[in-house]
Homo-oligomer: A and B are copies of this chain.
Amino acid sequence: MLRAIDENTITDAAIEQMASTPNPRLKQIMEPLVRHLHAWAREADLTPEEWLEGIKFLTAVGQKCTAYRQEFILLSDTLGMSSLINSLHDKRATEAGTKSSLVGPFYRQDSPPMKLGDSIVTKPSKGLEVVLYGRVTDSTGKGVANASVEVWQPDETGNYDLQKHDPSEMDLRGHFHTDSDGRYYLRTVAPLGYMIPMDGPVGDMIRAQKRHGYRPAHIHFIVGAPGYREVVTALYLAGDEHVDSDTVFGVTESLVTNVNQKDPNAPIPNLPSIKFDFKLAHATAKDMTGRVGADPSQIVKAGA
């Protein structure tokens, strides 16, 4: 039965042709994708030239990706998609926990195991030394003993170890475990914010939109314990001028804290402190990781 295809009937035609998809979840994902992409094209009244510009842009994004650079994740981040996916992930928890934030491209597995109180600063640093501490609790506030706390961050100039050293040398990363009351504490330096990589097509987009391209100062965490939902998140420093305009929308109110010059509760005296507590929801059978973009090398490998 021949149909007349126009800018409206094409949507059902495309969805009908995909109706043979055996995987019900794939079908469930593709059907609204087609509907929303088509609705966008109609709403924007895209011309062939404009869509070709879009095709060129997406091609350039794909071609910018390497084992060390994931430009599509950067695009996802800068369009707010990664933040949205994190929020949907949080919403599926059956108990409220610490909100997720972007894992970013600088996470490394196998960061060095450390003891509570150790410093993650392993290279000479001019940064402001601080104590970073808090508690990992369940949703009722009860401490979670021996919880895994992985921490990584940029230095006082806004650079991660991967951007400065031989990649085999780690700095400003550590893997801690909480004490019997769920406490963690360590020494580090206050981080600086930084600009996202601006030398690719996503940078071109950010400039075309006259956005500043900065992320506010933050410290990354992955926190988990057996029986609990792992949380991938970050704390953000209140004083940063970009704390309310993060280019990748990782900041949310509940993740903002500050450097406290005089904190009588800090576990290491005579140092400024950053305090941040984590609340873990109990895991359910369906829980999976929230690490969007944890490993660019795997993605390009799979993609190539």
Contact = CB atoms under 8 A, between A and B. Distances in A.
28 contacts: A2-B243, A2-B251, A2-B253, A5-B83, A5-B253, A6-B91, A7-B87, A17-B209, A17-B211, A18-B209, A18-B211, A21-B208, A21-B209, A26-B208, A32-B43, A34-B79, A36-B43, A37-B79, A38-B84, A41-B85, A45-B92, A46-B88, A47-B88, A47-B288, A49-B288, A51-B85, A52-B293, A58-B72
A33 B75 CA distance: 13
Interface of A: 1-7, 10-11, 13-14, 17-18, 20-23, 25-30, 32-52, 55-63, 65, 70, 72-73, 76, 79-89, 91-92, 201, 208-211, 243-245, 247, 249, 251-254, 256, 288-293, 299-300, 302-304
Given A20-B211, A34-B80, 13 more contacts: A4-B252, A7-B88, A10-B83, A14-B79, A32-B39, A33-B44, A41-B84, A45-B88, A48-B86, A51-B76, A55-B70, A55-B73, A62-B65
The quantity of this chain's copies bound in the complex is 2
A60 B293 contact: no
